Structure 1
Amino acid sequence: MKKFMNDVDQAENEMILGLVKAYPKDLRKLDCGNVVVRRNKKVNKVALISGGGSGHEPAHAGYVGTGMLDAAVAGAVFTSPTPDQIYEGIKEIANDAGVLMVIKNYTGDVMNFEMAAEMAEADGILVKQVIVNDDVAVKDSLYTVGRRGVAGTVFVHKIAGAAAERGDDLGQVQETANKVIANVRTMGAAIRPCTVPAAGKPGFELAEDEMEVGIGIHGEPGTHREKIKTANEIVDLLLDKILADLDYEGSEVAVMVNGSGATPLMELFIINNRISDVLKEKGISVYKTYVGEYMTSIEMEGFSVSLLKLDAQLKSLLDEKADTPAWKAW
């Protein structure tokens, strides 16, 4: 294994320290673990917390800031953060308006966030949650009961965060977040695995001429493995599944072409070229397109496509100001 690291056991901690040192005016790290919070705490506005295992950077700490998250909790690579860490994050950002937890649908994440919420509620903190399950590839996986939460989670951060920033109450922010969840679908593919530092070897194997279709963000198996195809053919496979799952006909959408960590922008733009053409042929209007790395899998060579069906409310919130390390909108 070749990685730019010092001590594998300190990788997550040093990563978070490096992040907050890059943005010292905006972010700070709590002493209780790898919990990142806004330096300037909200007052009388709903606060958002999210998180999960490390290895998905810039998710989730990269989205802490104005218009998005108030806190993000990072566990070890591909491992849920502990309830105690999440609880400390909730306590740090809580105010009278309450806290919304944005949880990706992985069994460990759901269990640990819900335990943390119970601890916070015992302190009198008002907490609600949403669970993101945007992946259309498989119903159940190694880590989930039901569909997985993947890159569409970032749209939840952005839109629910904007609703909170403008002063919506906790019930309204939760409703808006659930509206995003109901209208976003994602599917991905990969041609090379990633290596979890603590393991020191790739999490799975693919032959040089193979790809995994519908892969998860931790390297979980997808729908099937087959011979690699052209970029256009792979896009068609993914879009067929996404468009069959939700009726996008005649709608406006936001498109996210998300790199898994080691896919060059050249290839992501080639992928987007096909996505744009296919959606146009199907009468689906693209309102905004995001191409880049939003929720990675360390250095996996792969990508996912997310489509968010928009209405006037979601468009307005998507366009609202955001100022975070990984997402800026003015």
Structure 2
Amino acid sequence: MMKKIMNAPENYVTEMLEGIYTAHADMVAFTGDDLHCYVSKVKKAGKVGLATGGGSGHLPLFLGYVGEGMLDGCTIGDVFQSPSPEQMYNVTKEIDSGSGVLYIYGNYNGDIFNFDMAAEMADFEDGIEVKSVVAGDDVATEKPASPDEKNKRRGVAGIFFVYKCAGAAADAMLNLDEVKRVADKAAANVRTMGVALTPCIVPRVGKAGFTIEENQMEIGMGIHGETGFRRGPLEPADVIVDELLEKILADIPYVKGNEVAVLVNGLGATPLDEQYIVVRRVNARLKAAGISVHRYYVGEYATALEMAGFSISLLKLDEELKKYIDGPVNTPFFKQF
């Protein structure tokens, strides 16, 4: 049974966007006459433009990170659907200030195809130099066999760290190649794994696309309900955290003395109370491993509608990334001072 605060399902995304533009009219706007082309009102002459995009249903991902110190624009698709190349192209034109544009988006075929088309349009029609960084941080999916192999992993909540580092680098007026280098570095050093307790309901569908039994959980489920790593009985919070961290820490070389930024992300229906229970265990396990935490981020950063569950993301830091993680941000959905 679907119970949602909405009007007609087909108007779900446009009415959501109208509400955001109303509430945050001082910070964001849409370009042309398309609500799905979302841009920051704050312009910085000569700065590299940063754009992202993806399907709705993940707030505050993707559009929530458009603003000072992070992204300049975002194209928004229907729920769990990629926006069009034309929408991406329109955002690219709007945010370019002569220094080129960097696309940062998740590793999904529709997004890759449409962003590549938009980049070609921007180059051909307007001579805008566009480069791309594709984030794939989900350790529940297949690990590339070598550094040269194309990443097959899903992009999930860890893309937040890529936005954060790239945004600070662009704000420092680095050129396009350098901003891309920083974004690539962040993407190469972030790992995420999550757990789902319940399904979610796409408004146009009206029913859950899959089921998770009352006493079950799925480790590694994707943010669109993609198959996870394993399904089994619901376990205590500490046991779940231990399994997620074990997979993350085994995936990238860590040694005693390493520093990380940690994101504990709610998937849409997990109370903050429970997320902080997760933080408690994460802190204990990292401390035991000799890994220090530079910053914690806790809350809803990349959701899946009303899915219950959470994910943990670790960004392995060096002095450069630490500087960019600490940079100030002011967006409607995320602020750091």
TM-score in terms of structure 2 length? 0.95
Q: Which amino acid aligns with 2:154?
A: R
Moved over 6 A (4+): none
Shift of residue 306 of structure 1?
0.1
Q: Distance in 1 between matches of 2:123 and 2:116?
A: 10
Shift of residue 108 of structure 1?
0.6
**Match of residue 7 from structure 2:** 6
Is the Cα–Cα contact under 8 Å of residues 42 and 93 in structure 1 kept in the other structure?
no
**Match of residue 310 from structure 2:** 303
Q: Distance in 2 between matches of 1:318 and 1:200?
A: 39
Shift of residue 11 of structure 1?
1.0
**Match of residue 182 from structure 2:** 176
Task: Tell me, yes or no, if structure 1 residue 274 matches structure 2 residue 281.
Answer: yes
Shift of residue 145 of structure 1?
7.4
Q: Distance in 2 between matches of 1:153 and 1:131?
A: 9
Partner secondary structure for residue 289 of structure 1: strand
Q: Which amino acid aligns with 1:282?
A: A
**Match of residue 200 from structure 1:** 206
Is the Cα–Cα contact under 8 Å of residues 136 and 151 in structure 2 kept in the other structure?
no
Shift of residue 25 of structure 1?
1.1
**Match of residue 117 from structure 1:** 119
**Match of residue 56 from structure 2:** 54
**Match of residue 29 from structure 1:** 30
Q: Which amino acid aligns with 1:231?
A: A
**Match of residue 87 from structure 1:** 89
Shift of residue 57 of structure 1?
0.2
Q: Distance in 2 between matches of 1:145 and 1:77?
A: 25
How big is each residue's C-alpha offset from its partner over 1:215-240, in whole Å with a ceiling of 9 and x where there is no partner?
10111111111111111000111111
Calculate the aligned-residue CA RMSD, in Å. 1.2
**Match of residue 220 from structure 1:** 226
Partner secondary structure for residue 290 of structure 2: coil
Partner secondary structure for residue 181 of structure 1: helix
Q: Distance in 1 between matches of 2:265 and 2:60?
A: 11
**Match of residue 38 from structure 1:** 40
Shift of residue 41 of structure 1?
2.6
**Match of residue 101 from structure 1:** 103
Shift of residue 40 of structure 1?
2.8
Structure 2: give runs of 5+ residues left out of the alignment: 144-149
Partner secondary structure for residue 103 of structure 1: strand
Q: Which amino acid aligns with 1:242?
A: I
Structure 1: give runs of 5+ residues left out of the alignment: none
Partner secondary structure for residue 192 of structure 1: coil
**Match of residue 287 from structure 1:** 294
Shift of residue 33 of structure 1?
4.1
- Percent identity of paired positions between Structure 1 and Structure 2: 51
For 1:211, which of 217, 223, 228 is the aligned residue? 217
Partner secondary structure for residue 128 of structure 1: strand
For 1:229, which of 235, 243, 246 is the aligned residue? 235
Q: Distance in 1 between matches of 2:47 and 2:266?
A: 33
**Match of residue 166 from structure 1:** 172
Is the Cα–Cα contact under 8 Å of residues 16 and 29 in structure 1 kept in the other structure?
no
Partner secondary structure for residue 110 of structure 1: helix
Q: Distance in 1 between matches of 2:161 and 2:239?
A: 26
Is the Cα–Cα contact under 8 Å of residues 52 and 71 in structure 2 kept in the other structure?
yes
Task: Tell me, yes or no, if structure 1 residue 151 matches structure 2 residue 157.
Answer: yes
Shift of residue 96 of structure 1?
1.0
Q: Which amino acid aligns with 1:224?
A: R
How big is each residue's C-alpha offset from its partner over 1:270-306, in whole Å with a ceiling of 9 and x where there is no partner?
0111000000000000111011000000010010000
Q: How does 1:238-277 map to 2 (within 5 A)?
A: 238-250=244-256, 251-277=258-284
Is the Cα–Cα contact under 8 Å of residues 107 and 145 in structure 1 kept in the other structure?
no
**Match of residue 147 from structure 2:** none
Shift of residue 181 of structure 1?
0.6
TM-score in terms of structure 1 length? 0.97
Q: Distance in 1 between matches of 2:276 and 2:42?
A: 36
Q: Which amino acid aligns with 2:42?
A: N
